[in-house]
Chain A
Protein backbone atom coordinates (compact mmCIF):
# COMPACT_ATOMS: atom_id res chain seq x y z
CA UNK A 1 0.00 0.00 0.00
CA UNK A 2 1.27 3.44 -0.90
CA UNK A 3 1.80 5.96 1.87
CA UNK A 4 0.47 8.70 -0.39
CA UNK A 5 -1.70 8.17 -3.41
CA UNK A 6 -2.76 11.12 -5.54
CA UNK A 7 -5.19 10.59 -8.38
CA UNK A 8 -6.21 13.24 -10.85
CA UNK A 9 -5.57 16.08 -8.44
CA UNK A 10 -6.44 19.55 -9.75
CA UNK A 11 -6.20 22.84 -7.90
CA UNK A 12 -7.68 26.10 -9.07
CA UNK A 13 -7.20 29.30 -7.09
CA UNK A 14 -10.35 31.39 -7.13
CA UNK A 15 -13.30 30.28 -9.28
CA UNK A 16 -12.19 30.13 -12.87
CA UNK A 17 -8.87 31.58 -11.84
CA UNK A 18 -5.32 30.34 -12.01
CA UNK A 19 -4.94 26.60 -12.46
CA UNK A 20 -2.10 25.77 -10.10
CA UNK A 21 -2.13 22.01 -10.56
CA UNK A 22 -3.64 19.70 -13.11
CA UNK A 23 -3.81 15.97 -13.66
CA UNK A 24 -1.50 15.04 -10.82
CA UNK A 25 -1.13 11.30 -10.37
CA UNK A 26 1.52 10.11 -7.97
CA UNK A 27 2.10 7.22 -5.60
CA UNK A 28 4.65 7.51 -2.84
CA UNK A 29 5.76 4.25 -1.27
CA UNK A 30 6.82 3.63 2.29
CA UNK A 31 10.35 4.83 3.18
CA UNK A 32 10.72 6.72 -0.05
CA UNK A 33 12.40 10.10 -0.25
CA UNK A 34 10.53 12.03 -2.93
CA UNK A 35 11.58 15.45 -4.17
CA UNK A 36 9.25 17.79 -6.00
CA UNK A 37 11.16 20.14 -8.28
CA UNK A 38 10.07 22.69 -10.82
CA UNK A 39 10.09 26.36 -11.75
CA UNK A 40 8.37 29.08 -9.75
CA UNK A 41 4.63 28.77 -9.90
CA UNK A 42 4.61 25.07 -10.76
CA UNK A 43 2.53 24.36 -7.69
CA UNK A 44 4.98 22.14 -5.83
CA UNK A 45 4.37 23.85 -2.50
CA UNK A 46 0.66 23.72 -3.20
CA UNK A 47 0.92 20.01 -3.89
CA UNK A 48 2.75 19.49 -0.61
CA UNK A 49 -0.01 21.34 1.23
CA UNK A 50 -2.68 19.30 -0.50
CA UNK A 51 -1.00 16.11 0.69
CA UNK A 52 -0.88 17.60 4.20
CA UNK A 53 -4.55 18.65 4.13
CA UNK A 54 -3.64 22.30 4.59
CA UNK A 55 -5.23 23.13 1.23
CA UNK A 56 -8.15 21.30 -0.38
CA UNK A 57 -7.80 20.15 -3.99
CA UNK A 58 -10.48 21.45 -6.36
CA UNK A 59 -10.98 17.94 -7.73
CA UNK A 60 -9.23 14.61 -7.39
CA UNK A 61 -8.47 12.24 -4.58
CA UNK A 62 -5.76 12.16 -1.93
CA UNK A 63 -5.29 8.97 0.06
CA UNK A 64 -2.75 8.87 2.87
CA UNK A 65 -2.03 5.61 4.69
CA UNK A 66 -5.29 4.24 3.36
CA UNK A 67 -7.45 7.10 4.63
CA UNK A 68 -8.36 10.63 3.60
CA UNK A 69 -5.75 13.35 3.97
CA UNK A 70 -8.07 15.02 6.46
CA UNK A 71 -8.22 11.94 8.65
CA UNK A 72 -4.45 11.57 8.35
CA UNK A 73 -4.00 15.11 9.62
CA UNK A 74 -6.34 14.45 12.55
CA UNK A 75 -4.34 11.27 13.26
CA UNK A 76 -1.16 13.40 13.23
CA UNK A 77 0.47 11.50 10.40
CA UNK A 78 2.39 14.57 9.21
CA UNK A 79 5.51 16.29 10.38
CA UNK A 80 5.99 19.57 8.55
CA UNK A 81 9.12 21.67 7.99
CA UNK A 82 8.91 25.02 6.21
CA UNK A 83 11.55 27.19 4.57
CA UNK A 84 11.52 29.39 7.65
CA UNK A 85 11.98 27.45 10.84
CA UNK A 86 8.71 28.95 12.23
CA UNK A 87 9.87 28.52 15.81
CA UNK A 88 7.99 30.16 18.63
CA UNK A 89 10.17 32.96 19.99
CA UNK A 90 8.71 32.70 23.49
CA UNK A 91 9.68 29.03 23.79
CA UNK A 92 13.11 27.60 24.39
CA UNK A 93 14.63 25.08 21.97
CA UNK A 94 13.46 22.20 24.18
CA UNK A 95 9.94 23.60 24.46
CA UNK A 96 9.72 24.25 20.74
CA UNK A 97 10.59 20.63 20.06
CA UNK A 98 8.07 19.49 22.66
CA UNK A 99 5.21 21.57 21.21
CA UNK A 100 3.54 18.75 19.26
CA UNK A 101 4.06 16.38 22.18
CA UNK A 102 2.26 18.78 24.53
CA UNK A 103 -0.68 18.82 22.19
CA UNK A 104 -0.70 15.04 22.03
CA UNK A 105 -0.96 14.93 25.80
CA UNK A 106 2.43 13.42 26.61
CA UNK A 107 3.35 13.87 30.26
CA UNK A 108 6.26 16.05 31.29
CA UNK A 109 8.69 13.21 31.96
CA UNK A 110 8.05 11.45 28.64
CA UNK A 111 8.39 14.76 26.82
CA UNK A 112 11.72 15.50 28.47
CA UNK A 113 13.08 12.05 27.55
CA UNK A 114 11.98 12.41 23.96
CA UNK A 115 13.34 15.94 23.63
CA UNK A 116 16.69 14.79 24.97
CA UNK A 117 16.93 12.15 22.24
CA UNK A 118 15.93 14.58 19.51
CA UNK A 119 18.36 17.23 20.64
CA UNK A 120 21.10 14.62 20.34
CA UNK A 121 19.81 13.54 16.94
CA UNK A 122 20.03 17.05 15.49
CA UNK A 123 23.24 17.77 17.44
CA UNK A 124 22.00 20.65 19.53
CA UNK A 125 22.98 19.32 22.94
CA UNK A 126 23.69 22.25 25.24
CA UNK A 127 21.27 24.56 23.45
CA UNK A 128 18.06 23.22 25.01
CA UNK A 129 17.55 26.35 27.10
CA UNK A 130 18.31 28.82 24.31
CA UNK A 131 15.66 30.88 22.62
CA UNK A 132 15.34 30.72 18.82
CA UNK A 133 16.76 34.19 18.23
CA UNK A 134 19.98 33.11 19.91
CA UNK A 135 20.60 30.43 17.23
CA UNK A 136 21.97 30.61 13.69
CA UNK A 137 19.68 29.93 10.75
CA UNK A 138 21.00 26.39 10.32
CA UNK A 139 20.51 25.61 14.00
CA UNK A 140 16.99 27.00 13.91
CA UNK A 141 16.16 24.76 11.00
CA UNK A 142 17.53 21.75 12.90
CA UNK A 143 15.21 22.59 15.78
CA UNK A 144 12.36 22.76 13.32
CA UNK A 145 13.29 19.31 11.96
CA UNK A 146 13.53 17.89 15.48
CA UNK A 147 10.08 19.29 16.22
CA UNK A 148 8.68 17.65 13.09
CA UNK A 149 10.26 14.32 14.03
CA UNK A 150 9.32 14.52 17.71
CA UNK A 151 6.18 12.42 17.43
CA UNK A 152 7.52 9.98 14.81
CA UNK A 153 5.12 10.96 12.05
CA UNK A 154 4.96 8.38 9.27
CA UNK A 155 5.17 11.17 6.69
CA UNK A 156 7.57 14.10 6.69
CA UNK A 157 6.59 17.05 4.48
CA UNK A 158 9.41 19.52 3.84
CA UNK A 159 8.88 22.76 1.93
CA UNK A 160 12.29 24.05 0.82
CA UNK A 161 13.64 23.54 4.31
CA UNK A 162 17.18 24.58 3.38
CA UNK A 163 16.27 27.24 0.82
CA UNK A 164 17.23 30.13 3.07
CA UNK A 165 20.58 28.71 4.16
CA UNK A 166 24.02 29.19 2.70
CA UNK A 167 25.46 26.48 0.46
CA UNK A 168 27.83 25.00 3.05
CA UNK A 169 25.24 24.73 5.79
CA UNK A 170 22.87 23.33 3.23
CA UNK A 171 25.17 20.49 2.16
CA UNK A 172 25.91 19.60 5.76
CA UNK A 173 22.20 19.56 6.66
CA UNK A 174 21.51 17.45 3.55
CA UNK A 175 23.80 14.76 4.92
CA UNK A 176 22.29 15.05 8.39
CA UNK A 177 18.81 14.81 6.98
CA UNK A 178 19.68 11.58 5.17
CA UNK A 179 21.05 10.07 8.36
CA UNK A 180 17.90 11.11 10.22
CA UNK A 181 15.75 9.67 7.46
CA UNK A 182 17.59 6.34 7.62
CA UNK A 183 17.21 6.13 11.38
CA UNK A 184 13.63 7.34 11.67
CA UNK A 185 12.15 5.18 8.94
CA UNK A 186 9.71 7.84 7.82
CA UNK A 187 8.66 8.70 4.29
CA UNK A 188 9.77 12.12 3.09
CA UNK A 189 8.23 14.47 0.56
CA UNK A 190 10.63 17.30 -0.12
CA UNK A 191 10.09 20.48 -2.14
CA UNK A 192 13.20 22.12 -3.50
CA UNK A 193 14.52 24.56 -6.09
CA UNK A 194 17.89 22.93 -6.30
CA UNK A 195 18.51 20.16 -8.81
CA UNK A 196 21.61 18.86 -7.08
CA UNK A 197 19.90 18.82 -3.71
CA UNK A 198 16.96 16.87 -5.17
CA UNK A 199 19.22 14.31 -6.85
CA UNK A 200 21.49 13.93 -3.85
CA UNK A 201 18.69 13.32 -1.35
CA UNK A 202 15.99 11.47 -3.19
CA UNK A 203 14.98 8.00 -4.18
CA UNK A 204 12.83 9.61 -6.87
CA UNK A 205 12.65 13.14 -8.23
CA UNK A 206 9.31 14.40 -9.51
CA UNK A 207 9.84 17.10 -12.14
CA UNK A 208 7.03 19.59 -12.61
CA UNK A 209 6.15 22.28 -15.14
CA UNK A 210 4.48 25.62 -14.54
CA UNK A 211 1.04 27.05 -15.43
CA UNK A 212 -0.65 24.76 -15.10
CA UNK A 213 1.48 22.69 -12.76
CA UNK A 214 1.88 19.20 -14.14
CA UNK A 215 4.23 16.29 -13.63
CA UNK A 216 6.63 16.25 -16.61
CA UNK A 217 8.48 13.14 -15.56
CA UNK A 218 9.81 11.15 -12.67
CA UNK A 219 13.51 10.29 -12.39
CA UNK A 220 14.54 7.22 -10.39
CA UNK A 221 17.66 8.05 -8.48
CA UNK A 222 19.63 4.82 -8.38
CA UNK A 223 22.64 6.20 -6.53
CA UNK A 224 23.81 3.75 -3.87
CA UNK A 225 22.68 4.19 -0.24
CA UNK A 226 23.88 5.49 2.12
CA UNK A 227 24.88 8.63 0.28
CA UNK A 228 28.00 10.44 1.34
CA UNK A 229 29.85 13.59 0.40
CA UNK A 230 31.51 11.54 -2.38
CA UNK A 231 28.17 10.74 -3.98
CA UNK A 232 28.24 14.18 -5.58
CA UNK A 233 31.55 13.42 -7.29
CA UNK A 234 30.55 10.34 -9.30
CA UNK A 235 29.63 10.31 -13.02
CA UNK A 236 26.19 8.84 -12.28
CA UNK A 237 25.33 11.88 -10.15
CA UNK A 238 26.16 14.19 -13.07
CA UNK A 239 24.12 12.04 -15.46
CA UNK A 240 21.07 12.19 -13.20
CA UNK A 241 21.39 15.94 -12.88
CA UNK A 242 21.44 16.22 -16.64
CA UNK A 243 18.36 14.02 -16.81
CA UNK A 244 16.43 16.19 -14.35
CA UNK A 245 17.56 19.33 -16.15
CA UNK A 246 16.44 17.89 -19.48
CA UNK A 247 12.96 17.24 -18.07
CA UNK A 248 12.79 20.70 -16.56
CA UNK A 249 13.65 22.22 -19.91
CA UNK A 250 10.98 20.12 -21.55
CA UNK A 251 8.51 21.45 -18.97
CA UNK A 252 9.28 24.90 -20.28
CA UNK A 253 10.54 26.45 -17.10
CA UNK A 254 14.19 26.94 -16.41
CA UNK A 255 14.21 29.50 -13.68
CA UNK A 256 14.79 26.73 -11.19
CA UNK A 257 17.21 28.37 -8.83
CA UNK A 258 15.06 31.45 -8.48
CA UNK A 259 12.98 32.01 -5.39
CA UNK A 260 9.34 31.07 -5.71
CA UNK A 261 6.54 33.52 -6.33
CA UNK A 262 4.18 30.74 -5.45
CA UNK A 263 4.24 31.32 -1.70
CA UNK A 264 2.56 34.68 -2.17
CA UNK A 265 -0.19 33.03 -4.16
CA UNK A 266 -0.88 30.62 -1.32
CA UNK A 267 -0.97 33.38 1.25
CA UNK A 268 -3.32 35.39 -0.98
CA UNK A 269 -5.58 32.35 -1.26
CA UNK A 270 -5.64 31.90 2.49
CA UNK A 271 -6.68 35.53 2.82
CA UNK A 272 -9.68 34.81 0.59
CA UNK A 273 -10.93 31.92 2.67
Chain B
Protein backbone atom coordinates (compact mmCIF):
# COMPACT_ATOMS: atom_id res chain seq x y z
CA UNK B 1 0.00 0.00 0.00
CA UNK B 2 2.63 2.50 1.11
CA UNK B 3 4.99 1.72 -1.72
CA UNK B 4 2.05 2.07 -4.11
CA UNK B 5 1.25 5.51 -2.78
CA UNK B 6 4.92 6.44 -3.02
CA UNK B 7 5.00 5.27 -6.61
CA UNK B 8 2.02 7.43 -7.47
CA UNK B 9 3.48 10.50 -5.82
CA UNK B 10 6.73 9.78 -7.62
CA UNK B 11 4.92 9.57 -10.95
CA UNK B 12 3.12 12.82 -10.25
CA UNK B 13 6.35 14.63 -9.49
CA UNK B 14 8.06 13.11 -12.53
CA UNK B 15 5.27 14.11 -14.93
CA UNK B 16 5.21 17.60 -13.45
CA UNK B 17 8.97 17.88 -13.86
CA UNK B 18 8.78 16.69 -17.48
CA UNK B 19 6.04 19.24 -18.29
CA UNK B 20 8.02 22.07 -16.70
CA UNK B 21 11.11 20.87 -18.56
CA UNK B 22 9.23 20.88 -21.90
CA UNK B 23 7.98 24.38 -21.18
CA UNK B 24 11.44 25.72 -20.42
CA UNK B 25 13.03 23.79 -23.30
CA UNK B 26 10.54 25.22 -25.77
CA UNK B 27 11.13 28.69 -24.35
CA UNK B 28 14.90 28.30 -24.61
CA UNK B 29 14.61 26.91 -28.15
CA UNK B 30 12.27 29.71 -29.24
CA UNK B 31 14.38 32.46 -27.78
CA UNK B 32 17.74 31.23 -29.11
CA UNK B 33 16.45 30.53 -32.64
CA UNK B 34 14.15 33.55 -32.76
CA UNK B 35 11.24 31.22 -33.59
CA UNK B 36 8.13 32.98 -34.85
CA UNK B 37 4.77 31.35 -35.43
CA UNK B 38 2.71 34.02 -37.18
CA UNK B 39 2.73 36.95 -34.82
CA UNK B 40 3.69 34.73 -31.90
CA UNK B 41 7.19 35.20 -30.68
CA UNK B 42 8.68 33.44 -27.72
CA UNK B 43 9.90 35.83 -25.05
CA UNK B 44 9.38 36.62 -21.36
CA UNK B 45 6.14 38.41 -22.17
CA UNK B 46 4.45 35.62 -24.09
CA UNK B 47 5.92 32.72 -22.13
CA UNK B 48 7.40 33.64 -18.74
CA UNK B 49 9.79 31.36 -16.91
CA UNK B 50 8.09 28.89 -14.57
CA UNK B 51 10.17 30.16 -11.67
CA UNK B 52 9.03 33.69 -12.50
CA UNK B 53 5.39 32.59 -12.39
CA UNK B 54 5.77 30.76 -9.10
CA UNK B 55 8.02 33.50 -7.73
CA UNK B 56 5.42 36.13 -8.58
CA UNK B 57 3.10 34.47 -6.05
CA UNK B 58 5.40 35.59 -3.27
CA UNK B 59 5.83 39.16 -4.50
CA UNK B 60 3.58 41.95 -3.25
CA UNK B 61 0.51 42.17 -5.50
CA UNK B 62 0.80 45.98 -5.50
CA UNK B 63 3.06 48.52 -3.86
CA UNK B 64 3.06 47.87 -0.10
CA UNK B 65 0.17 45.41 -0.58
CA UNK B 66 -0.16 41.79 0.55
CA UNK B 67 1.61 39.02 -1.32
CA UNK B 68 -0.06 37.86 -4.55
CA UNK B 69 -0.62 34.39 -3.16
CA UNK B 70 -2.64 35.85 -0.28
CA UNK B 71 -4.79 37.85 -2.67
CA UNK B 72 -5.31 34.82 -4.90
CA UNK B 73 -5.99 32.53 -1.94
CA UNK B 74 -8.83 34.79 -0.82
CA UNK B 75 -10.10 35.08 -4.38
CA UNK B 76 -9.99 31.29 -4.74
CA UNK B 77 -11.96 30.83 -1.52
CA UNK B 78 -14.58 33.27 -2.77
CA UNK B 79 -14.87 31.52 -6.13
CA UNK B 80 -14.90 28.15 -4.38
CA UNK B 81 -17.96 29.24 -2.42
CA UNK B 82 -19.74 30.31 -5.60
CA UNK B 83 -18.74 27.11 -7.38
CA UNK B 84 -19.72 24.87 -4.45
CA UNK B 85 -23.18 26.42 -4.20
CA UNK B 86 -23.46 26.21 -7.99
CA UNK B 87 -22.39 22.58 -7.96
CA UNK B 88 -24.87 21.68 -5.22
CA UNK B 89 -27.65 23.51 -7.02
CA UNK B 90 -26.81 22.12 -10.45
CA UNK B 91 -26.21 18.57 -9.26
CA UNK B 92 -29.52 18.52 -7.34
CA UNK B 93 -31.51 19.93 -10.24
CA UNK B 94 -29.70 17.69 -12.69
CA UNK B 95 -30.35 14.63 -10.58
CA UNK B 96 -34.05 15.32 -10.05
CA UNK B 97 -34.44 16.08 -13.75
CA UNK B 98 -32.68 12.82 -14.66
CA UNK B 99 -34.89 10.75 -12.35
CA UNK B 100 -38.07 12.38 -13.70
CA UNK B 101 -37.01 11.84 -17.31
CA UNK B 102 -36.05 8.24 -16.58
CA UNK B 103 -39.60 7.47 -15.48
CA UNK B 104 -41.30 8.68 -18.63
CA UNK B 105 -40.36 7.99 -22.22
CA UNK B 106 -42.73 10.76 -23.30
CA UNK B 107 -41.09 13.41 -21.10
CA UNK B 108 -37.71 12.16 -22.23
CA UNK B 109 -38.59 12.55 -25.87
CA UNK B 110 -40.18 15.97 -25.39
CA UNK B 111 -37.64 17.59 -23.09
CA UNK B 112 -34.27 16.01 -23.76
CA UNK B 113 -33.64 17.94 -27.02
CA UNK B 114 -34.11 21.25 -25.17
CA UNK B 115 -31.84 20.16 -22.37
CA UNK B 116 -29.18 19.36 -24.94
CA UNK B 117 -29.87 22.64 -26.74
CA UNK B 118 -29.43 24.54 -23.48
CA UNK B 119 -25.79 23.53 -23.48
CA UNK B 120 -25.15 24.80 -27.00
CA UNK B 121 -25.94 28.37 -25.96
CA UNK B 122 -22.67 30.05 -24.97
CA UNK B 123 -22.48 30.65 -21.25
CA UNK B 124 -21.35 34.20 -21.99
CA UNK B 125 -24.74 34.87 -23.58
CA UNK B 126 -26.70 33.43 -20.65
CA UNK B 127 -24.66 34.99 -17.87
CA UNK B 128 -25.68 38.66 -18.28
CA UNK B 129 -29.35 37.65 -18.37
CA UNK B 130 -29.04 35.65 -15.17
CA UNK B 131 -27.39 38.67 -13.53
CA UNK B 132 -30.26 40.91 -14.65
CA UNK B 133 -32.95 38.42 -13.57
CA UNK B 134 -31.57 37.81 -10.12
CA UNK B 135 -30.26 41.32 -9.47
CA UNK B 136 -31.96 43.28 -6.66
CA UNK B 137 -34.13 40.37 -5.55
CA UNK B 138 -32.61 39.95 -2.14
CA UNK B 139 -29.99 37.39 -3.17
CA UNK B 140 -26.34 38.11 -2.40
CA UNK B 141 -24.46 39.37 -5.46
CA UNK B 142 -22.46 36.18 -5.89
CA UNK B 143 -25.59 34.02 -6.05
CA UNK B 144 -26.14 34.80 -9.73
CA UNK B 145 -22.62 33.49 -10.33
CA UNK B 146 -23.61 30.25 -8.60
CA UNK B 147 -26.65 29.99 -10.84
CA UNK B 148 -24.41 30.40 -13.89
CA UNK B 149 -22.14 27.65 -12.54
CA UNK B 150 -25.21 25.48 -11.92
CA UNK B 151 -26.18 25.96 -15.56
CA UNK B 152 -22.98 24.25 -16.61
CA UNK B 153 -23.20 21.65 -13.84
CA UNK B 154 -26.66 20.20 -14.20
CA UNK B 155 -26.26 18.86 -17.72
CA UNK B 156 -23.79 15.98 -17.26
CA UNK B 157 -25.61 15.03 -14.06
CA UNK B 158 -28.96 14.83 -15.83
CA UNK B 159 -27.59 12.74 -18.66
CA UNK B 160 -25.75 10.31 -16.41
CA UNK B 161 -28.60 10.02 -13.90
CA UNK B 162 -30.88 9.13 -16.78
CA UNK B 163 -28.38 6.58 -18.01
CA UNK B 164 -27.66 5.23 -14.54
CA UNK B 165 -31.16 4.69 -13.23
CA UNK B 166 -32.24 3.02 -16.47
CA UNK B 167 -29.22 0.70 -16.65
CA UNK B 168 -30.69 -1.61 -14.04
CA UNK B 169 -30.39 -5.39 -14.53
CA UNK B 170 -33.84 -6.57 -15.73
CA UNK B 171 -33.52 -9.58 -13.38
CA UNK B 172 -33.04 -7.26 -10.43
CA UNK B 173 -36.19 -5.41 -11.44
CA UNK B 174 -38.10 -8.70 -11.58
CA UNK B 175 -36.75 -9.55 -8.17
CA UNK B 176 -37.97 -6.26 -6.73
CA UNK B 177 -41.36 -6.75 -8.36
CA UNK B 178 -41.60 -10.22 -6.86
CA UNK B 179 -41.30 -8.53 -3.46
CA UNK B 180 -44.20 -6.29 -4.49
CA UNK B 181 -41.89 -3.27 -4.25
CA UNK B 182 -43.36 0.12 -5.17
CA UNK B 183 -41.61 2.42 -7.60
CA UNK B 184 -40.18 4.54 -4.80
CA UNK B 185 -38.64 1.48 -3.14
CA UNK B 186 -37.25 0.36 -6.50
CA UNK B 187 -35.76 3.82 -6.99
CA UNK B 188 -34.27 3.98 -3.51
CA UNK B 189 -33.02 0.43 -3.08
CA UNK B 190 -32.12 -0.49 -6.65
CA UNK B 191 -32.01 2.30 -9.22
CA UNK B 192 -30.14 4.82 -7.09
CA UNK B 193 -27.38 2.49 -5.91
CA UNK B 194 -27.02 1.18 -9.47
CA UNK B 195 -26.62 4.70 -10.79
CA UNK B 196 -23.99 5.80 -8.27
CA UNK B 197 -20.94 5.06 -10.45
CA UNK B 198 -22.62 6.95 -13.32
CA UNK B 199 -23.48 9.78 -10.96
CA UNK B 200 -19.94 10.13 -9.74
CA UNK B 201 -18.59 10.14 -13.29
CA UNK B 202 -20.92 13.08 -13.91
CA UNK B 203 -19.97 14.76 -10.64
CA UNK B 204 -16.33 14.73 -11.71
CA UNK B 205 -17.15 16.60 -14.91
CA UNK B 206 -19.61 18.84 -13.08
CA UNK B 207 -17.12 19.71 -10.34
CA UNK B 208 -14.58 21.19 -12.75
CA UNK B 209 -17.35 22.75 -14.85
CA UNK B 210 -18.71 24.51 -11.77
CA UNK B 211 -15.34 26.18 -11.17
CA UNK B 212 -15.11 27.28 -14.81
CA UNK B 213 -18.72 28.50 -14.64
CA UNK B 214 -18.08 30.47 -11.47
CA UNK B 215 -14.98 32.16 -12.91
CA UNK B 216 -16.74 33.09 -16.14
CA UNK B 217 -19.88 34.12 -14.29
CA UNK B 218 -17.98 36.67 -12.24
CA UNK B 219 -17.22 38.73 -15.35
CA UNK B 220 -20.75 39.85 -16.35
CA UNK B 221 -21.77 39.96 -12.70
CA UNK B 222 -18.95 42.47 -12.12
CA UNK B 223 -17.76 40.60 -9.06
CA UNK B 224 -14.26 41.67 -8.10
CA UNK B 225 -13.60 39.36 -5.17
CA UNK B 226 -13.11 36.06 -7.02
CA UNK B 227 -10.64 34.53 -9.43
CA UNK B 228 -12.65 35.82 -12.40
CA UNK B 229 -12.17 39.33 -11.09
CA UNK B 230 -8.47 38.66 -10.53
CA UNK B 231 -8.06 37.32 -14.07
CA UNK B 232 -9.77 40.41 -15.50
CA UNK B 233 -7.60 42.64 -13.35
CA UNK B 234 -4.26 41.00 -14.18
CA UNK B 235 -5.28 40.82 -17.80
CA UNK B 236 -5.20 44.63 -17.84
CA UNK B 237 -1.71 44.65 -16.36
CA UNK B 238 -0.38 41.88 -18.55
CA UNK B 239 1.98 44.21 -20.42
CA UNK B 240 3.80 45.16 -17.22
CA UNK B 241 3.53 41.88 -15.30
CA UNK B 242 2.79 38.76 -17.36
CA UNK B 243 3.58 36.28 -14.54
CA UNK B 244 0.69 37.64 -12.42
CA UNK B 245 -1.91 36.41 -14.89
CA UNK B 246 -0.11 33.11 -15.33
CA UNK B 247 0.00 32.69 -11.58
CA UNK B 248 -3.73 33.41 -11.36
CA UNK B 249 -4.41 30.75 -13.98
CA UNK B 250 -2.31 28.34 -11.98
CA UNK B 251 -4.42 28.94 -8.89
CA UNK B 252 -7.63 28.59 -10.92
CA UNK B 253 -6.41 25.24 -12.22
CA UNK B 254 -5.53 24.12 -8.71
CA UNK B 255 -9.03 25.04 -7.54
CA UNK B 256 -10.56 22.94 -10.32
CA UNK B 257 -8.31 20.01 -9.44
CA UNK B 258 -9.25 20.35 -5.76
CA UNK B 259 -12.94 20.14 -6.63
CA UNK B 260 -12.28 17.09 -8.77
CA UNK B 261 -10.33 15.37 -6.00
CA UNK B 262 -13.07 16.03 -3.45
CA UNK B 263 -15.46 14.12 -5.71
CA UNK B 264 -12.94 11.30 -6.14
CA UNK B 265 -12.58 10.95 -2.37
CA UNK B 266 -16.36 11.05 -1.88
CA UNK B 267 -16.71 8.31 -4.50
CA UNK B 268 -14.18 6.12 -2.68
CA UNK B 269 -16.22 6.44 0.48
CA UNK B 270 -19.70 6.07 -0.99
CA UNK B 271 -19.45 3.61 -3.86
CA UNK B 272 -19.00 0.00 -2.82
CA UNK B 273 -18.48 -2.03 -5.95
CA UNK B 274 -16.46 -4.86 -7.32
CA UNK B 275 -13.00 -3.41 -7.97
CA UNK B 276 -13.29 -3.84 -11.74
CA UNK B 277 -16.51 -1.78 -11.78
CA UNK B 278 -14.98 1.31 -10.23
CA UNK B 279 -14.39 3.88 -12.93
Residues of chain A whose beta carbon lies under 8 Å from any beta carbon of chain B: 49, 52, 54, 73-76, 78-80, 82, 84, 86, 88-90, 99-100, 102-104, 131-133, 157, 267, 270
Q: Which of B172, B177, B178 has the most CB of A within 10 A?
A: B178
Judge whether B277 and A86 touch: CB under 8 Å: no
Shortest Cβ distance from A141 into chain B, in angstroms? 13
Residue of A54, A84, A104, A270 touching B178 (CB-CB under 8 A): A54
Judge whether A54 and B177 touch: CB under 8 Å: yes
* Contact code string B162-199 (vs A, CB < 8 Å = 1, else 0): 00000001111011011111000100011001001000
Residues of chain B whose beta carbon lies under 8 Å from any beta carbon of chain A: 169-172, 174-175, 177-181, 185, 189-190, 193, 196, 271-275, 277
Judge whether B181 and A90 touch: CB under 8 Å: no
Q: Which residues on the B side are within 8 Å of A102 (C-beta)?
A: 189
- 15 A-B contact pairs sorted by A residue (CB < 8 Å): A52-B178, A54-B177, A73-B177, A75-B180, A76-B178, A82-B174, A86-B171, A88-B193, A90-B193, A90-B273, A99-B179, A103-B179, A103-B180, A131-B272, A132-B274
Which single residue of chain B is at the shortest CB-CB distance from A104?
B179
Judge whether B272 and A86 touch: CB under 8 Å: no
Shortest Cβ distance from B266 into chain A, in angstroms? 15
Judge whether A73 and B178 touch: CB under 8 Å: yes
Q: Which residues on the A side are within 8 Å of B196 (C-beta)?
A: 90
Shortest Cβ distance from B238 into chain A, in angstroms? 51
Shortest Cβ distance from B192 into chain A, in angstroms? 10
Judge whether B185 and A267 touch: CB under 8 Å: no
Shortest Cβ distance from A228 into chain B, in angstroms? 32
Q: Which residues on the B side are within 8 Å of A131 (C-beta)?
A: 272, 274
Judge whether B179 and A100 touch: CB under 8 Å: yes
Q: Which residues on the A side are within 8 Å of B181 (C-beta)?
A: 103
Judge whether A84 and B272 touch: CB under 8 Å: no
Q: Which residues on the A side are within 8 Å of B178 (C-beta)?
A: 52, 54, 73, 76, 78-80, 157
Residue of B174, B193, B277 touching A54 (CB-CB under 8 A): B174
Q: Given A103-B185, A133-B274 in contact, is the A88-B172 Cβ separation under 8 Å? A: yes
Which single residue of chain A is at the shortest CB-CB distance from B176?
A103
Q: Which residues on the A side are within 8 Å of B190 (C-beta)?
A: 88
Q: Which residues on the B side are within 8 Å of A80 (C-beta)?
A: 174-175, 178
Residue of A76, A82, A157 touching B179 (CB-CB under 8 A): A76
Q: Which of A79, A89, A104 has the most CB of B within 10 A?
A: A89
Q: Which of A54, A88, A157, A267 has the most CB of B within 10 A?
A: A88
Shortest Cβ distance from B140 into chain A, in angstroms? 39
In Å, the complex CA distance between A157 and B174 comes to 12
Q: Which residues on the B side are within 8 Å of A74 (C-beta)?
A: 180
Shortest Cβ distance from B233 into chain A, in angstroms? 48
Judge whether B175 and A86 touch: CB under 8 Å: yes
Q: Which residues on the B side are within 8 Å of A52 (C-beta)?
A: 178
Q: Which of B169, B175, B190, B271 has the most CB of A within 10 A?
A: B175
Q: Given A90-B273, A133-B274 in contact, is the A76-B170 Cβ separation under 8 Å? A: no
Closest 8 CB pairs of A and B: A133-B274, A86-B171, A90-B193, A80-B178, A90-B272, A74-B180, A100-B179, A82-B171
Residue of A76, A88, A133 touching B180 (CB-CB under 8 A): A76
In Å, the complex CA distance between A133 and B193 comes to 16
Judge whether B172 and A86 touch: CB under 8 Å: yes
Shortest Cβ distance from A79 into chain B, in angstroms? 8
Residue of B170, B172, B177, B193 touching A267 (CB-CB under 8 A): B170
Judge whether B273 and A270 touch: CB under 8 Å: no
Shortest Cβ distance from A156 into chain B, in angstroms? 11
Shortest Cβ distance from B188 into chain A, in angstroms? 10
- Beyond A74-B180, A82-B175, A86-B171, list 19 extra A-B contacts (CB 8 Å): A49-B174, A52-B178, A54-B174, A73-B180, A76-B178, A76-B180, A80-B174, A82-B174, A86-B169, A86-B172, A88-B172, A89-B272, A90-B193, A90-B271, A103-B179, A103-B180, A103-B185, A103-B189, A104-B179
Which single residue of chain A is at the shortest CB-CB distance from B277?
A89
Shortest Cβ distance from A67 into chain B, in angstroms? 13
Q: Which residues on the B side are within 8 Å of A54 (C-beta)?
A: 174, 177-178
